[in-house]
Structure 1
Amino acid sequence: MSLQRRRLLAAGLATLALTALPRLALAHHGWRWTDTGEFELSGIITAAELGNPHGLLTVQAGDEVWTAEVGQPWRNEAAGLTDAMLAPGTEVILRGHRAADAARLVMKAERVIIAGRLYDLYPDRS
């Protein structure tokens, strides 16, 4: 591969990494970015990006659009929650913790309720 192609490839990868950083920061492991109080969000899933390190749902809740972090694929599976259940158009109730910065419409879900059934992603958390 020529030096010019390597530089072009490196520049492209750097650009991709920089555009992904805000999304990666949102999906960072841990709970330190969340508020300590319990939070519940009800709405309709409009988009889902499922996979590692965490799944992300876009949820229309009234006039607001929220981003909700759900579990890693293995955690969702252990709770009985499949990717197909998190498809756009699904009505969902999410329980967990919202961002400590109330201006951010972001939450981390501990529990997911679909069609009246509870999927406990973090059974060790109360």
Structure 2
Amino acid sequence: MRCQAKWLLALVILLFLVPAQAHHGWVGGETIEIEGTITHVRLGNPHGEVQLDVDDETWTVEIGQPWRNERAGLAEGDLVEGVELRVSGEHAGERLLKAEQLWIGEEHYVLYPGRI
């Protein structure tokens, strides 16, 4: 009986971990690149988001956590409304992109070095 309880507990833990990984991790989607103008910014945890106007469509771009953005070289004020942004990352849904790297002008920022 004790062995069955351990297996049941392991199964319950696994069931809770799989959806969390699917939401927060990359799940093998297509890598794409988009370019547009930032129309809205929300920085912070668990990750930041910017809204981009891309050919009159609004895209949501998930960027890194504050420490990851800083490590990539982004400074406060780099991601603000009106900035032209080119982003490469995983296409994670309709008009949703998980940024792996981005460009502001000629400046290149790598948020997830192991992904490119």
Relative to its length, the structure with more strand (as a share) is 2
TM-score, normalised via structure 1 length: 0.71
Cα RMSD (Å) of the superposition? 1.5
Task: Figure out how many residues of one structure are paired with residues of the other and give that number.
Answer: 95
Partner of 1:16 in structure 2?
A: none
Structure 2 residue runs of 5 or longer lacking an equivalent are 1-19
Out of 60, 64, 89, the position equivalent to 1:96 is 89
Runs of 4+ displaced beyond 3 Å: none
1:31 Cα deviation from its structure 2 partner: 1.4
- Paired with 1:78 and 1:89, the residues of 2 have a C-alpha distance of 23
Where does residue 116 of structure 1 map in the other structure? 106
Give yes or no for the alignment of 1:76 onto 2:69: yes
Contact 1:50-1:83 within 8 A present in 2 as well:
no
Aligned amino acid, residue 77 of structure 1: E
Q: What stretches of structure 1 of length at least 5 have no aligned partner? A: 1-24
Instruction: Tell me, in whole angstroms, the C-alpha distance in 1 between the residues paired with 2:33 and 2:65.
Output: 20
From 71, 75, 79, the equivalent of 1:86 is 79
Identity, in percent, stands at 46
Query: TM-score w.r.t. structure 2 length?
Result: 0.77
Shift of 1:62: 0.7
